[in-house]
Structure 1
Amino acid sequence: MSSQPSPIITPTPPLPTRLSLAAQVYGIKAIAATVLGATRVFWRSTYNKFAPTYTKRYPIRPMLECRVFIPKSYKTNQKLPLYIDIHGGGFTIGDPQFDDKVCHYLCNKFGYVVVSLQYRLAPSNPFPIPVDDCTELALAVLSDPDLPVDHSKVAMGGCSAGGGLTLSVSQDPRLKSKIMALVPFYPVTDFSYKFTGDFRDKPAAADGKGAATDGLRNSMHLFDWAYIPYGQDRTDPRLSPIYADAAVFPKKIYFLTAQYDYLCEEAFNMAKKLAGDNSLTEDADWDVNGVRWERLPDEVHAFIETAWKTEFFPEAEGELWKKEIEAVLGRVGAWLDEVFAHNHEPNSG
């Protein structure tokens, strides 16, 4: 991964194509904003259950709001582990509130301070703006004297686009000695598409249930257009983290992916390269050279984010789903606790 790849640059498409893509992207943004806004109004009491302890804005990015979660068990003068969260949404939709439930769970189940970052969204703010926003805010969080944080126990994670941003942000030299572990959930790792596989539609089970079209099949090209400026080299490691040298990352990384997810193969290829073992397989969980790989069987992209449905529709199937998601987050928390307990030094290269 240390050799320099040949640049991959997508030419500017014709004007009609650009107009069509823009109309589709802004249509998705409008629909997403309407649906999320309406959901938060009608289920306000449910959302309030997972609300942060407080919100905060830092001078480096005063237009962006961070959501801060302090454990209910916190006692004055305690120093707690820190988990920095970056939300997903294809770099174009969503906000930190999208991850409130996950942040609330990790905070109160494992006793972490959790800070959820906001970043400006594409296409108005394409690469590298979201990476820069999250990097500067992460540095601000780590320098915040008001947070009761043990700076020897810091991790960062996120889902989908947030997982990709986690891998991008952590490459910044200013964070090299500050982040101990990363948890990218089904991350975007390769916009060159050299390491990306085919779309993975979920087949129907014997009872006819479970069939689903890969959730990114009809939207990945739109997120691609929105996020990547014309003339951008797609092998830039901050855009496609799979091209980054292993030495720039923390020593501990937990890739958590889904079987029926278009992004699974590129995440596996990155995990395998970082582990330095080409004999590893995608369909078996493994932990090699500080890199942990887990692929959830029979799951689809964004399975973590869809867990919020169980709070609104708590039927038996939904309750089972809720327990499955909490089990996944439980494994993440247990892994982080083990990393923190061993007090590994961040990678010094």
Structure 2
Amino acid sequence: MDNSAPASGQNDTTATTSRALTHEPPPFLSRITRLSRIYTAKSLAFPSAWLREWKEYFYPPSTRPDIVKSYDIFFPSSYDLTSPSTLPTLFTVHGSAAAPFVLGTPRDDDEFNRTFADKYHVLVIALNYSKAPASVFPAPVHDVEALLVDALGDESLPIDRTSPRGVDDDKKKGRVGILGFGAGGNLAMAVTLLEGVKREECCPGVVVSWGGWLDLAAGGGEEGAWRWGYVPYGVDLRDGLVSPFYARGGEGFRGFIAGEGDGLAGENEGLARRLVGKGEVSRREINSEGGVKKRLEKEDERFWFEEGRVKWVLVPGVGAGFEHREVREEMGWEEEVVKDAEEKTELVMEELGGWLRRVWGVNG
């Protein structure tokens, strides 16, 4: 694999707040081990993906997208396709709990996308990106950029391109947001920093990281293989496009959601706190109490706060990927834990949906 560094595309809006940390080659045997792990993950994922495609061909699921272009489009079930009315629009970028930047497809989020579109009367558009190690940084970021710009310019889509009331920033026209899960949270945060997106007449004024991997400079251990496959040697791991945790600049509203047992919760909390001036925090690994029956803890700012243009939600008693049925099934969670995760997913979606509607100035 050619892991030499391309230009990062760094500019003033993606300059880092810390000194550079160059991605250096690991020992030879470590490289072999990481490459083996990446291709083992790919080979194990292929049969299940193949079987799912055939099953969906004969038995189309109710959560499938309404239209498939170079992106997947979900209209609210109550929306009249002949109507001239427009819709607030949420773009989603998938991740992969098993192998970030290496595996995953937009279809992994079909259940979330369909539910969110129907429940909150929102147009949802799912974006894809090329995967490591065949495609490395910054290609996936620009893949998301290209699809995002293409969809925003598609006049056949009923995207609400009017500015929310009280928003006078000409660069943030439109009731539009982008949300990413895991690696997708990284890409969603990064793409909004690109000048090509910021120059668009209509572009996301809201970006949400749901368990996003925002700090690749701190990623080690099990994450080492996925980071090694995605980031070429010589690239600054604290470049804002690689690790949005370190980016300065960036306008609009930003939301952060994570499960209490997600190893990435700490960096999401850390960035949320820094953005509202709560100071740097020790980005501890936040451990789950495992299936403890709690609702969202809004009385404790460790779990929830909403200040200015920033929202933070830490979901108690659940781990990474709790919002995805496939993850719950693959992890073999007990029935009680699965039910708890499903209930909390609904609560978080309600919290997110309500926040977006307030930000967008949408009534009802």
Q: TM-score, normalised by structure 1?
A: 0.81
> Does residue 1:154 correspond to 2:159, yes or no?
no
Counterpart Cα distance in 2 of 1:146 and 1:264: 38
Provide the residue aligned with 1:185 in structure 2: 210
How much does 1:288 deviate? 1.5
Aligned length: 310
2:359 counterpart letter in structure 1:
V
> Does residue 1:114 correspond to 2:114, yes or no?
no
Q: Give 5+ residue unaligned stretches, structure 2.
A: 1-13, 162-173, 282-299
> Does residue 1:271 correspond to 2:272, yes or no?
yes
2:34 counterpart letter in structure 1:
L
Q: Give 5+ residue unaligned stretches, structure 1.
A: 58-65, 197-216, 344-349
**Pair 327,229 (structure 1): closer, same or farther in 2 beyond 3 Å:** same
Deviations 1:225-278 (A, max 9, x none): 111111111111000111111x3232x111011111211111111111111222
Deviations 1:78-101 (A, max 9, x none): 100110000002011010101101
Provide the secondary structure at the position in 2 that maps to 1:162. Answer: helix
How much does 1:15 deviate? 3.0
**Pair 17,132 (structure 1): closer, same or farther in 2 beyond 3 Å:** same
Provide the residue aligned with 1:54 in structure 2: 67
Provide the secondary structure at the position in 2 that maps to 1:13. Answer: coil
2:89 counterpart letter in structure 1:
L
Counterpart Cα distance in 2 of 1:235 and 1:19: 25
Provide the residue aligned with 1:34 in structure 2: 47
Question: Which of 239, 247, 250 is the matching residue for 1:248?
Answer: 250
Asked if the contact 1:156–1:166 (Cα under 8 Å) also holds between the matched residues in 2, the reply is: yes
Provide the residue aligned with 2:361 in structure 1: 341
Deviations 1:121-162 (A, max 9, x none): 001101111101001111111101110110221010011111
Deviations 1:40-60 (A, max 9, x none): 545778761100001002xxx
Moved more, 143-152 or 333-342: 333-342
* Overall identity of the aligned pairs, in %: 26
Provide the residue aligned with 2:350 in structure 1: 330
> Does residue 1:81 correspond to 2:91, yes or no?
no
Counterpart Cα distance in 2 of 1:3 and 1:102: 33
**Pair 270,22 (structure 1): closer, same or farther in 2 beyond 3 Å:** same
Provide the residue aligned with 1:166 in structure 2: 188
**Pair 129,265 (structure 1): closer, same or farther in 2 beyond 3 Å:** same
RMSD: 2.8
Provide the residue aligned with 1:234 in structure 2: 237
Deviations 1:305-333 (A, max 9, x none): 236757xx997764554333222212111
Counterpart Cα distance in 1 of 2:241 and 2:54: 37
1:191 counterpart letter in structure 2:
L
Q: TM-score, normalised by structure 2?
A: 0.78
Q: How does 1:281-292 map to 2 (within 5 A)?
A: 283-292=302-311
Larger strand proportion, structure 1 or 2?
Answer: 1
